[in-house]
Amino acid sequence: MTTTPERVHDDSRVTAFEDNDHKPVGHGRMLRKEDPRFVRGRGRYVDDVQLPGMLHLAILRSPMAHARILSVDTSLAEAHPKVRLVVTGAMLAEKGLAWMPTLSNDVQAVLATDKVRFQGQEVAFVVAEDRYAARDALELIDVDYEPLDPVVDVRTALAPEAPVIRDDLEGKADNHCFDWETGDAAATDAVFARADVVVSEDIVYPRVHPAPMETCGAVADYDDIDGKLTLWSTTQAPHAHRTLYAIVAGLPEHKIRVIAPDIGGGFGNKVPIYPGYVCAIVGSLLTGKPVKWMEDRSENLISTGFARDYIMRGEIAATSDGRILAIRTHVLADHGAFNGTAAPVKYPAGFFGVFTGSYDIEAAYCKMTAVYTNKAPGGVAYACSFRITEAVYLVERIVDCLAYELKMDPAALRLKNFIRPEQFPYATKTGWTYDSGNYEPTMRLSMELAGYDQLRAEQAEKRARGELMGIGISFFTEAVGAGPRKDMDILGLGMADGCELRVHPTGKAVVRLSVQTQGQGHETTFAQIVAEEIGIPPQDIEVVHGDTDQTPFGLGTYGSRSTPVSGAAAALVARKVRDKARLIASAMLEVSVADLEWTKGAFHVKGDPSASVTIQDIAMRAHGAGDLPDGVEGGLEAQICYNPENLTYPHGAYICVVDIDPGTAKVTVRRFVAVDDCGTRINPMIIEGQVHGGLTDGVGMALMEMISFDEDGNCLGGSLMDYLIPTALEVPDWETGFTVTPSPHHPIGAKGVGESATVGSPPAIVNAVVDALKPFGIRHADMPLTPSRVWEAMQGRPTPPI
């Protein structure tokens, strides 16, 4: 399969065939090892787990956003012939399990005891012989609610008359969640005071949902003979979850085994511990049987971790000739009913602090206030690298507003203000150290691929004819790969990752990871990382992950941290094995270590390539008979725990071209050029796949996705008919390119890329739409840019979505 006819689309765009089947021993394009099972529908997901005697759990959820629970009558449900167990919040409270900690040191109800605080909150659960009976029995539970006024509008959540949501917290008299600031307020004010131009804009990043194809679920199997709990669950962080279960439930950690089998997409949705997982464990403890809980689509959309929901005032100060001096922002953050943000504890706003973007500026300041509302808890990542998508959206939108005011080309304005290559490592005004970057070539490449000047000429012609065409640019720098243990932990767990590599006697190998793929292709990428270092073909390297009994400790996969952290661990553990192999090779070849040369897969004697031993030969010797060098043990294996010294900072330049139908205001994304720089590229095919997925996410958020609520706090995005996710028909044929600026501290120079496109694409699309609307005098319009909302903007009244 090396050649195939080019596919020609209706609109005569051409997708060139790319042969990805290169079979590299190391980095390069290769087909994914996991795909034979996925493309055949043979993935093994949590819902595929079937155990003898397994029971099924279903959760009764609150129909109201805010209400006091007066009584819960479960007698009819208990009388259902197939029901084994009905559990309420009151019953959990007796066991001290009604509340659990969140990832942000708040608490969250497992089952509501006093009040329900968002629509869809867990109130009771039923365990029955089949999933149909479990569902039917939910309708037999009678809950008496006393409705309370809900807090829906984040802007009035702190008003003195607002009902207090978190009266479970002692002394809590308002809906204040936390305040946070970064940067230097006084220095920033001073720069603003002397700036020629100050532009400010209110920018909303609406609440969206990660919406993975597989919803959340678990199978809990407690064995009361050996006291061991096995939990199959949809988790992006099996080790962190196990430790937290040990802490929350008081089960000994060594008696808990968390297995994350194939995961059907995570995007941050599967980082938190949800009440449903705990309910499944409780269900198994109480029935002595395996208990399965699988959320349905509505439950997933209504109750699990959302993302974004920031209301931002962005301000930018500049000279009249376009030198950016400072950026200032005030943010109002809606955290829902419980603060479940998944972020390192010292970073309650995630890594929003990188809102200074890719620009060399003099001062920056951010003040954030987070509040509770009667909405689903979270503030979890959604492929956002811990809130960097909000930060990038803010800075890239406000820079475009500045370009609008200065009547400058947005590409020229960016090029003028980039951090210069010689300034790296670059310390930002908010305390981040960008490891490496070379922005201008990336920007120039994107402009070249897009044909930027021709596009501007085309736009001028079209504008003269009354046609609406927009060109949007975004340039992002991300901070990914959390993180150095001196700065970063989640609930006290440091963010270093273990890795173990064992080479078997016949030269095949197994590498054990702490991170957990959700579709990113870890089984391929990590085999390639090890192959590159040790010369064993990727097909001969088994990648084991997603099982706490089989893998070393580590914090899991989110925030694009797998390659920056565990990828580094895999490379270094392979080098450790190679170092040992070198000692054995020196004995086998009877030369000193210094006289050996490594070419991928074999050591040979310097000056005598014929005197060589392969890594496979060495593996057999390591396990075989005969003497090994003094002090060298048998076997060929190593383990490591890698603590990154810094995050990695990938960057990228995106250019989007849109057309808007002037009559219907419908936006069509005509072209999208994405140039990414994620340092060393391990498998370009996988990178491109990640980028394509993230760009599609961006189209969804920019044009159609939003979790909205009515005035009673009812969630209006509870199905995929209401919460729209883009299809192939809404997205163009992606045009991708790359530059390579390796990370100086990562052993192979790689940076994370999994979230780059989700972070970088929304501002490019919105900037393009706003650019198209320039003839209407529009400088800003908020997402989602549905036809109706674009039309309102064309009428001169763009309105925020909340």
Partner 1 sequence: MQVPAPFEYQRVSSVDQAIGLLDRLGDTARLVAGGHSLIPMMKLRLANFEYLIDINDLHEELGYITEEPRTIRIGAMTRHRELLESRALADAFPIFRDAERVIADPVVRNRGTLGGSLCQADPSEDLSAVCTTLDAQCVIRGLDGERVVSMEEFHRGPYETAVGDAEILTEVRFPIRPNGSSAYEKVERRAGDWAVVSAGAAVWLAEDGTVADARVGLAAVGPNTAGIPGIADAMRGHAPSEELYARAGAIAANAADPVTDRRGSAEYKRHLAKELTVRVLRESVARIREQHRQGA
Q: Can you give the binding site for partner 1, defined by CB under 8 A?
A: 131-132, 135-136, 139, 294, 296-298, 663-666, 703-704, 708, 716, 719, 721-722, 724-727, 729-730, 786-788, 791-792
Give me the least distance between CB of 787 and partner 1, in Å please.
Answer: 6
Pairing outcome for strands 55-61 and 291-294: parallel
Q: Which is nearer to partner 1, 626 or 663 (CB)?
A: 663
Q: Which is nearer to partner 1, 75 or 788 (CB)?
A: 788
Q: Which is nearer to partner 1, 25 or 665 (CB)?
A: 665
Give me the least distance between CB of 9 and partner 1, in Å please.
Answer: 16
Give the 3-state secondary structure of 275-338. Answer: HHHHHHHHHHHHHCCCEEEECCHHHHHHHCCEEEEEEEEEEEEECCCCCEEEEEEEEEEECCCC
Give me the least distance between CB of 624 and partner 1, in Å please.
Answer: 53
Strand partners, 205: 310
Measure Cα distances from 475 to 63, 326, 390, 438, 711 in Å: 43, 17, 14, 12, 37
Give me the least distance between CB of 779 and partner 1, in Å please.
Answer: 21
Q: Which is nearer to partner 1, 510 or 731 (CB)?
A: 731
Question: What secondary structure letter does DSSP report for 96?
Answer: T
Give me the least distance between CB of 703 and partner 1, in Å please.
Answer: 8
Encode 119-148: b = buried (16+ Cβ within 10 Å), e = exposed: bbbbbbbbbbbebebbebbbebbebebeeb
Give me the least distance between CB of 718 and partner 1, in Å please.
Answer: 9
Q: Which is nearer to partner 1, 265 or 340 (CB)?
A: 265
Give me the least distance between CB of 722 and partner 1, in Å please.
Answer: 7
> 684 preceded by cis ω (within 30°)?
no
**Which residue, 444, 482, 239, is CA-closest to 345?**
482
Measure Cα distances from 759 to 155, 187, 209, 256, 657 in Å: 25, 29, 14, 36, 18
- Alpha-carbon span 645 to 648, nearest angstrom: 10
Q: Which is nearer to partner 1, 297 or 745 (CB)?
A: 297
- Alpha-carbon span 213 to 720, nearest angstrom: 11
- Alpha helix stretches (DSSP H) within 535-631: 568-589, 615-623
Q: Which is nearer to partner 1, 607 or 663 (CB)?
A: 663
Q: Which is nearer to partner 1, 412 or 720 (CB)?
A: 720
- Alpha-carbon span 103 to 341, nearest angstrom: 6
Q: Which is nearer to partner 1, 489 or 792 (CB)?
A: 792
DSSP per-residue string spanning 154-204: GGGTTSTTSPPS-TTSTT--S-EEEEEEEE-HHHHHHHHHH-SEEEEEEEE
Q: Which is nearer to partner 1, 159 or 716 (CB)?
A: 716
Give me the least distance between CB of 307 and partner 1, in Å please.
Answer: 19
Q: Which is nearer to partner 1, 61 or 561 (CB)?
A: 61
Strand partners, 750: 679
Give me the least distance between CB of 659 and partner 1, in Å please.
Answer: 15
DSSP per-residue string spanning 510-530: EEEESS--SSS-HHHHHHHHH
**Which residue, 268, 301, 229, 171, is CA-closest to 721?**
301
Q: Which is nearer to partner 1, 283 or 652 (CB)?
A: 283
Give me the least distance between CB of 716 and partner 1, in Å please.
Answer: 6
Give me the least distance between CB of 309 and partner 1, in Å please.
Answer: 17
> Cβ(125)–Cβ(60) under 8 Å?
yes
- 1, containing H or E segment: none
Tokens of 788: 């109706």
Give me the least distance between CB of 231 and partner 1, in Å please.
Answer: 20
**Which residue, 246, 230, 239, is CA-closest to 290?**
230
Q: Which is nearer to partner 1, 295 or 478 (CB)?
A: 295
Give me the least distance between CB of 663 and partner 1, in Å please.
Answer: 5
Q: How far apart are the first and last CA of the chain?
A: 51
Torsion of CA 119, 123, 128, 131, to 10 degrees: 10
